[in-house]
Structure 1
Amino acid sequence: MPSAKITHLTDRALIRVAGDDAHHFLQNLVTADIEKTDENGACAGALLTPQGKILFDFLIYKTADGYLLDAPLETAPDLLKRLTFYRLRAKVDLEYMDEDLGVIAVWNGTAVFETALLAVTDPRVPALGERVVGKVGSLLAENTAEAASLEDYDFHRIALGVPEGLKDFDYSDIFPHDADLDQLGGVSFSKGCYVGQEVVSRVHHRGTSRKRFVLVESSDKLPEKGTPVTSGGKSIGELGSSTGQIGLALVRLDKAAQAKDNGTPLQCGVAKVQVRIPDWASFSWPEQSTAN
């Protein structure tokens, strides 16, 4: 049985959201249901544009005095600025956490951390493993799990078919359904209004989501991010992150289903590829394509 693997997610940063109004502030702002976050300890979520597109995506952790947002390091300062913009008169403390406090990922097993601030099963897909927050140096020193790299973790994430902002898609470019965020527990359709809620709700209830992230596999090495996935020479999607012969791509489900039905080969650059829906997803290929 393989031993647990552990790595410091150096591409992530933490933002503290605390104060008397922290719960209501987030509940009225982000896609996730913060009531469920309080119950389960963690959830996925996003902050949208008023037009319903993903402006930032992140994980949310419940703490003793509020919440921590686990977000991409590259855009965390911008996320903090945007949260500050929305704060207005709410009694909310917003703080970019010290660099010594970080996020550790543990997968392919479990590990015990005496000094952890919190440890939760990844709320998107349990097979992703655990997310542990604390002083990075102490967490790494006290654990005997097999040390792994950030690239190792990305391979694990990609193999499970879980997309992430910046790595797989650009911000302000796609809707939560496109990024499978509704499938990953990051969107509430019952809690009431939040920024962009009307558009997201309309897509959900009309069942009009035509694009989704799916797994892409090839016997050849996949090309760089942004390379079109084509059917009969016509683009049906675009490659996101990849590691060797497996990757993620945002594709038109109807076009991909049509290619499957017709036996039309799919390509990404010069690589011949196959696409499949992740095991955890509840959506499926359209039974009959009406695409032109």
Structure 2
Amino acid sequence: MTDPTPARSAWHTFLDQQGSHLPPEAGAALPDNFVAALNDLGLISLTGDDAASFLHNQITNDVEKLDLASVRLAGYCTPKGRLLATFLMWKDAGQIVLQLPRTLQPAIQKRLQMFVLRAKAKLADISEQRVTLGLAGNAAATALQQWFPQLPAQPYGKTDNEHGTLLRVADSRGAPRFQWITSEEQAIAAWPALTQKLAVAGAQAWRLSDIYAGVPTITQPTQEQFVPQMINFELIGGVNFKKGCYPGQEIVARSQYLGKLKRRSVLALVADGQVAAGAEVFSSEDPGQPCGMVVNAEPAGAGNSACLVEIKLAAAESGSIHLGSVDGPALQLQALPYELTDPQ
């Protein structure tokens, strides 16, 4: 099996010297404005004349109409419609880039490669050729303007210049968030100025901000567990129901159009700082069997964890929900930044 651990590089050596490779305090409260090195993310590049059409036929979102000023979410499903991975996807001049957890990247790239066949498409791991910085908070926009005078005005916008690629992703806690994908040299040069204006945080803080934004990420413990709608993926723009076929498309479409959805993901706090993705949750109304599963979880300060939890909606609306067993810590449901709506 390919080792997903990043090789030591000038960037990693620089972060070690800065003391910035770990969060200041594990489980500390999330800063309002921060910058983090997102070394846990992998990047797959697709190039070639058929790259867009090949990928369009594999994932849940439209690739052929993806423009240079946009970034999109997308999922990769089994033939049974269960998610193997979730991506952030964008197009540069000459390539399409998929971003996903580095722990999944080798296996997902290998699986996609199996279906290239005669298509003129080449997949490459470019994770070590780029540095990804996550910047969150209202001060992040000000900090970035030295390199990007024109920032993307809305979430899921994108801009490119000589300093790299800037993606605006979903807002979190009412404030903008950005990813800056750039070279090691540019990241090292920019780090001192960024950290004068923004708190230094770890990748855990970025993942926590994703949870507060209601944006799920499939990881190894949750592969093949969820149809996209079970993690609200179509609500946040990760599924296009008008595009052509892809693996699992019939089941995803059936889930959308045949009746009311019975399972969704909710945001919750729980008094347990060690919650992990894949953990089961139980309802006091039906303690004998799990009613859902933790999709993502991160320490959120004061001994708590913030979680996205896939759950039977009927269970969420009646009784209490508990982690691990009906005797486990109770989940305190929180408001998501978007409404849980049924298909129209």
Compute the RMSD of aligned alpha carbons: 2.5
Specify the alignment match of 1:160 in structure 2.
213
Q: Distance in 2 between matches of 1:128 and 1:237?
A: 30
Specify the alignment match of 1:255 in structure 2.
315
Structure 2: state its 5+ residue gaps.
1-30, 149-161
Structure 1: state its 5+ residue gaps.
285-292
Q: Distance in 1 between matches of 2:114 and 2:224?
A: 17
Specify the alignment match of 1:130 in structure 2.
178
Specify the alignment match of 2:337 in structure 1.
279
Post-superposition shift, 1:265? 3.1
Conservation of the 8 A alpha-carbon contact between 1:223 and 1:268: no
List per-residue Cα deviations over 1:64-98 (Å, max 9, x = no partner). Answer: 10211111101111111111111111111211115
List per-residue Cα deviations over 1:18-77 (Å, max 9, x = no partner). Answer: 111111111111101124532642101111111111122111111010211111101111
Equivalences, count: 276
Post-superposition shift, 1:140? 4.3
Instruction: Trace 1:110-259 onto structure 2 (pairs within 5 A).
Output: 110=141, 111-112=144-145, 113=147, 116-122=163-169, 127=175, 129-143=177-191, 144-145=193-194, 146=198, 147-166=200-219, 170-218=222-270, 220-221=271-272, 224-225=275-276, 226-232=279-285, 234=287, 235-240=290-295, 241-243=297-299, 244-257=304-317, 259=318
Identity score, percent: 25
Post-superposition shift, 1:159? 2.2
Post-superposition shift, 1:192? 1.7
Specify the alignment match of 1:290 in structure 2.
none
Conservation of the 8 A alpha-carbon contact between 1:13 and 1:102: no
State the SS of the aligned residue for 1:122: strand
Q: Distance in 2 between matches of 1:201 and 1:150?
A: 34
Which amino acid is 1:69 matched to? L
Q: Distance in 2 between matches of 1:142 and 1:39?
A: 24
State the SS of the aligned residue for 2:232: coil
Instruction: Trace 1:14-25 onto structure 2 (pairs within 5 A).
Output: 14-25=43-54
Q: Structure 2 length as normaliser, TM-score?
A: 0.73
Q: Structure 1 length as normaliser, TM-score?
A: 0.85
Specify the alignment match of 2:114 in structure 1.
85
